[in-house]
């Protein structure tokens, strides 16, 4: 049996480096498009049947802004209004610098006057600095973080600039499109992460299938309790929370860092994605820092510089908004419990979780561990583990974790990749056993 297991494990990785083009072949593209359609169709069906109970889905009652989304909506309005508070000379200067900078970047990109990785860094940093100028004029809106309101406000900026009115229902329409698009991006990024990690297109498609059908699987895996406290609607993108965008950004970065060829451009794009992801959800900085450490162990120091510079690109936005976010909320004594982090929270964080209770963990963790063992290369094993364990470390000892399973959503694509590889390995072992203990 050890002989069989060894060969079954090795079969998970082919000798030839995988290419993302494998997912562009007609059959794979049809599958991914269908999965993306499922991810969109499920929430849209629930929205269409608002205030009705559909089989296998929780009841959804449409409210444009509810819970934290009220603060995020207020932040978008504050950001849109803040441009008018800038001195006219500063506003005109920002417009001029943006136009000249964009032209210069396009010219340098086409003429290859500067390494493209540094053009990516300069573009992201320049955009962040322009945004920071407006953020300094914002009043505290009641949102803890600003990344999601920033992205949410971008399509509404020209809409408001031409004088159209904005209310919560209109803003919900803009946000719904962005949230559903983020989930679609995650479907494709999960498939790429699975392909690059395992070398097998089937693993990528299985992992993407798990994410695509996850809104339908939650009730089966976690029971109706798993829908509680808006967990399902947040994941589906039906309330304007940070999770869809956060998950999309960190999964795109994961797929980029798992690519066989870690070019400077790839590293720069991954760094920008994680930098913006940190502005969306501060704990995503853990994945960014862990990735930096792993890259430093794998690459020469000068090759890591594009990633490091890109990962710092949105720091000005995070810093400028910090006193208007968590700091402002901390002034309310009802916002935080007396003890926010404690080792005593660890047991109930999982045992009392609405979704990730022992039954769900039993279905996910063993096969994911087997999948990690099946990986021969240390790089995907450690990178996928970092994407999972970073959130585990951040939220296991957090007071609010049991009632907010959404804190772990950014780790789900990495879990699905390892789970898919573990399931494939288990099938291979079972087939080998049936054939008499010999793997062919």
Nearest to residue 227, comparing CAs of 46, 44, 411? 46
Q: Is the pLDDT of residue 177 over 50?
A: yes
Lowest mean pLDDT across 21-25, 195-199, 300-304: 21-25
Q: What's residue 172's pLDDT?
A: 96
Q: Which two tokens stand for residue 35?
A: 């999965």
Residue 310 CB: number of other CB atoms within 10 A?
29
Please report the pLDDT score of residue 10 as a whole number. Answer: 41
Residue 4: predicted pLDDT? 43
Between CA 202 and CA 23 the distance in angstroms is 10
pLDDT band at 9 (very low <50, low <70, confident <90, very high): very low
The predicted pLDDT at position 6 comes to 43
Confidence of residue 339 (pLDDT cuts 50, 70, 90): confident
Higher-pLDDT residue of 151 and 339 is 151
Residue 8 has a pLDDT of 41
Interatomic CA distance for residues 262 and 271, integer angstroms = 12
Mean pLDDT of the region 119-133: 96
| Rounded mean pLDDT, 394-400 | 93
Tens-digit pLDDT profile for residues 345-394: 999 999 999 999 999 999 999 999 999 999 989 999 999 999 999 999 99
Q: Write down the mean pLDDT value for the chain.
A: 90
Cα gap 359→60, rounded to integer Å: 25
pLDDT 10s digits, 270-287: 999 999 999 999 999 999
Q: Residues 87-98: what's their mean pLDDT?
A: 95
Contact 258/197 with Cβ under 8 angstroms?
yes
Confidence at residue 224, expressed as pLDDT on a 0 to 100 scale:
85
CA distance 267 to 262: 7
pLDDT at 3: 44
d(CA 362, CA 46): 29
Cβ neighbours around 369 below 10 Å, total: 13
Per-residue pLDDT, averaged over 107-131, amounts to 92
- High-pLDDT (> 90) share of the chain, %: 75
Neighbours of 356 (CB within 10 A): 25
Neighbour-count burial for 61-92, b at 16+ CB within 10 Å, e otherwise: eeebbbebbbbbbbbbbbbbebeeebeeeeee
Predicted pLDDT at 16 = 59
Whether residue 170 has pLDDT greater than 90: yes
pLDDT, greater one: 57 or 191: 191
pLDDT at residue 18 is higher than 80:
no
């Amino acid at each position: 049996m050890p002989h069989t297991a060894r060969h079954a494990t090795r079969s998970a990785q082919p000798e030839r480096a995988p290419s993302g083009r494998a997912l562009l072949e007609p059959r794979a593209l049809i599958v991914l498009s269908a999965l993306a359609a499922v991810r969109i169709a499920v929430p849209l069906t629930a929205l269409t049947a608002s205030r009705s109970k559909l089989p296998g889905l929780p009841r959804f009652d449409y409210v444009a802004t509810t819970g934290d989304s009220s603060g995020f909506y207020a932040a978008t309005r504050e950001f849109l209004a803040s441009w008018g508070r800038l001195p006219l000379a500063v506003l005109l200067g920002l417009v001029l610098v943006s136009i000249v900078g964009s032209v210069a970047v396009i010219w340098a990109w086409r003429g290859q006057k500067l390494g493209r990785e540094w053009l990516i860094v300069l573009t992201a940093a320049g955009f962040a600095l322009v945004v920071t100028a407006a953020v300094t004029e914002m009043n505290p809106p009641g949102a803890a973080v600003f990344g999601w309101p920033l992205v949410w406000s971008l399509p509404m900026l020209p809409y408001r600039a031409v004088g159209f009115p904005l209310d919560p229902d209109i803003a919900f329409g803009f946000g719904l499109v962005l949230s559903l698009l983020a989930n679609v991006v995650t479907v494709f990024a999960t498939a790429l992460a699975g392909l690059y990690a395992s070398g097998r297109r089937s693993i990528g498609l299985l992992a993407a299938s798990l994410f695509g059908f996850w809104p339908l699987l939650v009730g089966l895996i976690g029971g109706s309790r798993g829908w509680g406290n808006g967990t399902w609607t947040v994941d589906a993108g039906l309330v304007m929370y940070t999770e869809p965008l956060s998950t999309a950004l960190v999964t795109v970065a994961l797929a980029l860092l798992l690519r066989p060829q870690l070019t400077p451009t790839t590293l720069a794009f991954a760094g920008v994605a994680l930098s913006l992801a940190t502005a969306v959800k501060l704990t995503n900085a853990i994945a960014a820092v862990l990735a930096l450490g792993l890259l430093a162990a794998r690459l020469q120091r000068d090759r890591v510089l594009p990633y490091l510079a890109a990962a710092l690109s949105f720091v000005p936005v995070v810093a400028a908004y910090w006193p208007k976010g968590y700091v402002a909320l901390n002034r309310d004594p009802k916002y935080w419990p007396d003890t926010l982090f404690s080792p005593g929270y660890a047991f109930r964080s999982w045992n009392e979780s609405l979704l990730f209770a022992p039954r769900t963990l039993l279905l996910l963790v063993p096969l994911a561990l087997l999948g990690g063992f099946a990986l021969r290369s240390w790089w995907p094993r450690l990178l996928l583990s970092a994407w999972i364990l970073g959130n585990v470390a951040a939220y296991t000892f957090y007071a609010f974790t049991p009632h907010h399973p959404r804190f772990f959503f950014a780790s789900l694509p990495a879990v699905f990749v390892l789970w898919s590889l573990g399931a494939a390995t288990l099938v291979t072992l079972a087939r080998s056993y049936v054939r008499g203990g010999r793997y062919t």
